[in-house]
Structure 1
């Protein structure tokens, strides 16, 4: 089955042609009416567009300060695509904004008795960043202005740290649009400058989902992310993805949500107000060394500073809903360390007040099923919603559930991540559970909401690029074939720079380990035989099917019933350290 989609649907360009276009057509992708032909990427931020907020005010986050309805529970300041037009594309939908990236002081009164007073990194002074609501075929236009403090390292020191895989240069940044099936390109402009070797100097003009881009403090970058008209609806997110700085930036606020909206006939009657985002993220503070040996595996202790898990920037918020109202809960694991390995659990509290306190205990008879309908932004169209009382949830995963609850009080737990073979591990993350939110279900259902049961079948149809990958589509011979799958083996031989290995070689950013052909499908084997903890696997812009992972446990064990993912945690050691996947390119 050929997979050939147009990442810029309003232009007659293939993916390969899009990757090759030059600055001559860059302006056609730009914000209408704004010039993009910058020849200097190290500009000072004197542009008024880059001053979106005042970061001097203290951001205060307190524990359970109020209860929220579905609207107030969600991240603030959503950005919804609007109709626009230009002379090149005609009429189209666009979600356009400017991100002013700055440090902001924070007082966090969430865990323990001593408040954390520190500094976080924010898009437009809010944490998390704004939520995007877009549709297939829409364009996201973001001007990212890096107003972070200068790096203490020199440019040469930053380049050396990248070379040896050492964390550092934490004020360099970029953006990754996690889960979107879009172009990974950056368009470069040839300048009049030459380098020390006499070669022409090229500078960036416009980026799509380019995770290798580098935006230094005092510079900006225009992003244009244009979804194909055949893009699947789903729950996705954006975050910083600068090599050597991703974790410290993601754990301190540089995250946000992207919703590619369903067609009205596939919403199952769930209204916007009952379509609820649960973005789970961390705050550890600027001065905390999250890279210290052993620190990521301790729930609250990082050099004496306790980290906290928030939901939509709130500490243990309370969601108030009406009984028997069908809601869609979109969970996003926007964490950046092994502490983010968890299982999602919904627990009904007992009749006594102390039954719904912060103690993260939930007896088996108190667990309430949530009905899984999508994983990593890919819906199980045509299948039954799957009841789950515990669902493994690793960093970068997204899991969508339907719930329809009777009156009562509930709490949502970040439970321990459960390995298939615990006895085989040399080291395990902290296994303490934590309450991340409360739910009050009270009052009459009312006529303004959609009361009802979870539907029997999830309506909708996946686009061609997410259809099952049968044996016949896999390469018939050579690397990536059924009989000779490509092997990807991860290893951390010790803590510290130079000890992160891939296929028995030290990891090197920019090295090409596998060359694949466009419009083909391959079989890969993922291994983590000597790992200390699960290793995340994610290929940007390419989801994959996990062999043997059944959507419907009562259905067939074949590609028609294998779940699609875009990120999985490859468990360490033992028989579950090897996972087989199939993906299209």
Structure 2
């Protein structure tokens, strides 16, 4: 019998299962029925479970290869995960009601799924050179006649597919092909062949079928995909940041994976209207209600998340407590915004001693509690990578503006023992998806123990990384790496891609314009039309690019802010100009007195990303290479309900024809 193995790459604290966990174990194994209300279980933050993947080298009956020492197990460098999609009935904590709401949502289920947090997919861990196979089994019920006349009207909520967000793999066949449709009852195996030079970093996976993406991701169908690397830098090549981020004893630096989700479930009255609280107007559920996500018109859209009163969850838990933190310990926090549309502005602030309990607080009452008790200066976050790609220089932040699809790898140190607020702080109007100042929200509380007291956190982190470099980096590059770290934590030896110079650009140039127009019928506005380059999504059309060329892209938006995301090939940021033509990719947005009003573009010049927020009226310039992979994929706005309603465009990378053009190897879909 074959042996299943998992990689215990992130340390987490195990604890006895609560009555809720036992009840949910039964739910996972048995037909899904609504559980009875129970006394709330402790809401300590759990680390996401790791996918139980069958690895070729772990088989009890492996293939054998002949060596001089005799027969040896043959590791074909493959790992397989079984991933089922089905409706799951479980519970989500409602802080204002001090109770769990029963919900029925589409979810991923796999061996090892945590029954306490079923609306969070398992974390896949892989490495460069490995092939990851995901056997997707769509067990959602059939939906006959789900295809509308307009493809940009949300539809077919039980059909799906899979996207490996950020992976540098082929977009065709059964690889990262988001143009496939997997209907209910269909089984399909995806195969991601990671090249040997794939960057090590934080990536993720989620559904990506046009018409149902937002609804499925908002239901919690998303998981982290970590690529771990062991390549040391050398004089002629860069290495993996993982080799530097080590504890004094040589073990991988203590890690913490935080997946932010915004599950917009709603309970409805007998007329189908969302049930709301008479006093606050927030969405609510009665004792016998079951929350669901089934509609776009009133569960997604401008300002809806704030009006709902729902809370951003971390690792599937609402308002968790972090209770295994140690003062003075440097940790690598892998932050992943797996929400659909609203900005998360992450801050850590020391809490006043003897603060009152937050139990039962929500809305204005909870915000007042935050104003009164979360008064400490924001802690520094040392971002070493974004979107899985290591920076040339660490970006020091006191707030971390995460847009949907963003990932941030940040080193975090709590300088002394105590309690800290984990906050989604106010996002400036210009920095947010909604173009309005978004409400501050408490995400959780961190309990920090230990006797250490760190006065200068930046010097403390620098000394630790310098010590690691002295101990572990190869002799030929050690001195230059140490000198770089001493120079404000430079990480040049670990950047996965070479800088794209202007002289390297040989393509014709590309322009992307996001826009939203009013949909007018009989002289009245009845909705919005979501556009890229003046057109809604057309699956029969594509932007043609040529393999081997290097392009500069110009990104802008004529209405609203939109996170631009393109599949397969990441891009390097060249310049970001505000509405007045001022460069803001170094300083961030400044007021007339030179004070930072929006920090999200600060220090981005020269960095690599795969998702980038495009402010209304700003002009962003990025460069990218088309290497190795041909085929058709997409670019789109990562506000996923915008994508579902037309803010997407197909892209084709063609084989060069030898005359400056390209040859298509596939027909349009």
Query: Is the TM-score greater than 0.5?
Result: yes
SS in 2 for 1:467: coil
Aligned partner of 1:547 in structure 2 is 574
Is 1:268 matched with 2:298? no
Is residue 374–residue 420 contact of structure 2 (8 Å, CA) maintained in 1?
no
Aligned partner of 1:407 in structure 2 is 417
Change (3 A) 1:369 1:77: same
Aligned partner of 2:516 in structure 1 is 492
- Structure 2: how far apart are the matches of 1:277 and 1:256? 11
Change (3 A) 1:58 1:400: farther
Aligned partner of 1:307 in structure 2 is 310
**Pairing of 1:282-321 with structure 2 (within 5 A):** 282-285=262-265, 286-287=292-293, 289-292=295-298, 295-302=301-308, 306-320=309-323, 321=325
User: Following TM superposition, by how much is the alpha carbon of 1:527 offset from its aligned partner in structure 2, in angstroms?
Assistant: 1.3
- Structure 1: how far apart are the matches of 2:293 and 2:431? 35
Change (3 A) 1:243 1:421: closer
Which of the residues 612, 619, 634 maps onto 1:568?
A: 612
SS in 2 for 1:145: strand
SS in 1 for 2:205: strand
Which of the residues 501, 504, 512 maps onto 1:473?
A: 504
**Pairing of 1:2-401 with structure 2 (within 5 A):** 54=30, 56=32, 65-68=42-45, 73-79=46-52, 82-84=55-57, 91-113=75-97, 115-124=100-109, 126-151=118-143, 153-154=144-145, 157-158=146-147, 160-161=148-149, 163-186=150-173, 207-263=174-230, 265-269=243-247, 271=251, 274-285=254-265, 286-287=292-293, 289-292=295-298, 295-302=301-308, 306-320=309-323, 321-337=325-341, 340-354=342-356, 358-359=366-367, 360-361=370-371, 365-381=376-392, 383=393, 385-401=394-410
User: Following TM superposition, by how much is the alpha carbon of 1:283 offset from its aligned partner in structure 2, in angstroms?
Assistant: 1.3
SS in 2 for 1:493: strand
User: Following TM superposition, by how much is the alpha carbon of 1:506 offset from its aligned partner in structure 2, in angstroms?
Assistant: 2.9
Is 1:511 matched with 2:487? no
Is residue 253–residue 330 contact of structure 2 (8 Å, CA) maintained in 1?
no
User: Following TM superposition, by how much is the alpha carbon of 1:100 offset from its aligned partner in structure 2, in angstroms?
Assistant: 1.2
Which of the residues 426, 440, 447 maps onto 1:416?
A: 426
- Structure 2: how far apart are the matches of 1:584 and 1:54? 50
- Structure 1: how far apart are the matches of 2:295 and 2:516? 19
- Structure 1: how far apart are the matches of 2:39 and 2:313? 10
User: Following TM superposition, by how much is the alpha carbon of 1:291 offset from its aligned partner in structure 2, in angstroms?
Assistant: 3.7
SS in 2 for 1:301: helix
Aligned partner of 2:20 in structure 1 is none
Aligned partner of 2:447 in structure 1 is 440
Is residue 167–residue 245 contact of structure 1 (8 Å, CA) maintained in 2?
yes
SS in 2 for 1:212: coil
Which of the residues 623, 628, 650 maps onto 1:582?
A: 623
Change (3 A) 1:535 1:64: farther
Aligned partner of 1:46 in structure 2 is none
- Structure 2: how far apart are the matches of 1:491 and 1:147? 36
- Structure 2: how far apart are the matches of 1:491 and 1:429? 18
- Structure 2: how far apart are the matches of 1:470 and 1:177? 28
Is residue 166–residue 388 contact of structure 2 (8 Å, CA) maintained in 1?
yes
TM-score by length of 1: 0.73
Is residue 373–residue 458 contact of structure 1 (8 Å, CA) maintained in 2?
no
Change (3 A) 1:57 1:368: farther
Change (3 A) 1:544 1:55: farther
- Structure 2: how far apart are the matches of 1:392 and 1:453? 22
Change (3 A) 1:291 1:469: farther
CA deviations 1:28-86 (Å, max 9, x no partner) are xxx9xxxxxxxxxxxxxxxxxxx995452668999882435xxxx21124446745376
Which of the residues 543, 561, 567 maps onto 1:534?
A: 561
SS in 2 for 1:472: helix
Change (3 A) 1:560 1:131: closer
CA deviations 1:433-491 (Å, max 9, x no partner) are 1111221110357xxxxx96353436574576x2111011101xx621xxxxx221111
TM-score by length of 2: 0.65
Is residue 425–residue 440 contact of structure 2 (8 Å, CA) maintained in 1?
yes
SS in 1 for 2:307: coil
- Structure 2: how far apart are the matches of 1:287 and 1:123? 15
Change (3 A) 1:87 1:282: farther
Aligned partner of 2:472 in structure 1 is none
Q: Which runs of 5+ in 2 are unaligned?
A: 3-26, 66-72, 231-241, 266-291, 360-365, 453-458, 466-484, 520-525, 577-583, 589-600, 627-669
- Structure 1: how far apart are the matches of 2:449 and 2:39? 24
- Structure 2: how far apart are the matches of 1:377 and 1:537? 16
Change (3 A) 1:345 1:498: closer
Name the count of aligned residue pairs. 477
Change (3 A) 1:535 1:66: closer
Q: Which runs of 5+ in 1 are unaligned?
A: 1-30, 32-50, 187-206, 446-450, 481-485
SS in 1 for 2:356: helix
Change (3 A) 1:491 1:538: same
- Structure 2: how far apart are the matches of 1:401 and 1:81? 31
CA deviations 1:348-390 (Å, max 9, x no partner) are 1122313988534487752111111111111114x3x322111
User: Following TM superposition, by how much is the alpha carbon of 1:103 offset from its aligned partner in structure 2, in angstroms?
Assistant: 0.7
User: Following TM superposition, by how much is the alpha carbon of 1:91 offset from its aligned partner in structure 2, in angstroms?
Assistant: 2.8
Change (3 A) 1:439 1:488: same
- Structure 2: how far apart are the matches of 1:537 and 1:502? 11
Change (3 A) 1:428 1:571: same
Is 1:521 matched with 2:545? no
- Structure 1: how far apart are the matches of 2:49 and 2:304? 31
- Structure 2: how far apart are the matches of 1:355 and 1:372? 32
